[in-house]
A and B are shown apart, each in its own frame.
Chain A
Amino acid sequence: TQLLEQSPQFLSIQEGENLTVYCNSSSVFSSLQWYRQEPGEGPVLLVTVVTGGEVKKLKRLTFQFGDARKDSSLHITAAQPGDTGLYLCAGADEGQTGANNLFFGTGTRLTVIP
């Protein structure tokens, strides 16, 4: 089992604050993805990082893939109430079938208070 641990599990902050969510594993992944999930909906892909050390920016969100491709972080600048949701990291491992099986982290539930 390829376990991905996220921290913190819960995070409640005021609007305008910055935050960082961490995703750590002992396994190496071919790529790592970050999703956001709203209540009653499926996860929606935010970004995919592939290369060790890669940094991607999506507006106020900055994603980084660790050099060893085992860990990742998500940094949100000036959080907005609309950022509230469950953030999931998922490591992709190309199995024997060639498909990219996703191994999801435990999730970070973010609440941004207006």
Chain B
Amino acid sequence: GAGVSQSPRYKVAKRGQDVALRCDPISGHVSLFWYQQALGQGPEFLTYFQNEAQLDKSGLPSDRFFAERPEGSVSTLKIQRTQQEDSAVYLCASSFAGLAGVQFFGPGTRLTVL
């Protein structure tokens, strides 16, 4: 596709539910990043993949958060037993290895936990 796409765009979950957020990166982009953006704040790094390898997951806030990219393309961010504090916009970005620092962002998934 022409850009990074994410689905769903909006997700409402009841507290305790599990959710899965999908990211389709730009074709050929090796690197994939997930960020969490709370209302009125800048994005905060969650995790990073290079191809299918998750090289950095230092930003994941708890063990309820899990991300995967099994074939080195599409990625899924899963949040188990959602809590109200998980409400945020989850952004995915991809970059082409060698273009240092140039990340292209998707539109995000707005998660609201009731």
| A contact residues vs B (CB 8 Å cutoff) | 4, 30-31, 33, 40-45, 48, 88, 90, 92, 94-95, 97, 99-107
- CB <8 Å contact, B107 and A42: yes
- CB <8 Å contact, B31 and A101: no
> Would you call B76 an interface residue if the criterion is a C-beta within 8 Å of the partner chain's C-beta atoms?
no
Given contacts A42-B91, A107-B42, contact A97 B101 (CB under 8 A): no
A99→B101 CA distance, assembly (Å): 8
- Determine the chain B residues whose CB is within 8 A of the CB of A40 once the complex forms: 107-108
Question: Can you show 20 pairs from A to B with CB atoms below 8 A apart?
Answer: A4-B42, A40-B108, A42-B108, A43-B105, A45-B103, A88-B42, A92-B101, A95-B56, A97-B48, A97-B50, A97-B55, A97-B56, A99-B55, A99-B56, A100-B103, A102-B45, A102-B103, A104-B35, A104-B44, A106-B41
- CB <8 Å contact, A41 and B100: no
Given A42-B107, A90-B42, 8 new contacts (CB under 8 A):
A30-B101, A41-B108, A99-B55, A100-B100, A102-B101, A104-B35, A104-B43, A107-B40
A45→B101 CA distance, assembly (Å): 10
> Would you call B19 an interface residue if the criterion is a C-beta within 8 Å of the partner chain's C-beta atoms?
no
| B contact residues vs A (CB 8 Å cutoff) | 4, 31, 33, 35, 40-45, 48, 50, 55-56, 91, 93, 95, 100-108
A48→B106 CA distance, assembly (Å): 19
- Determine the chain B residues whose CB is within 8 A of the CB of A107 once the complex forms: 40-42
- Determine the chain A residues whose CB is within 8 A of the CB of B56 once the complex forms: 95, 97, 99, 101
Given contacts A99-B50, A103-B45, A107-B40, contact A31 B100 (CB under 8 A): yes
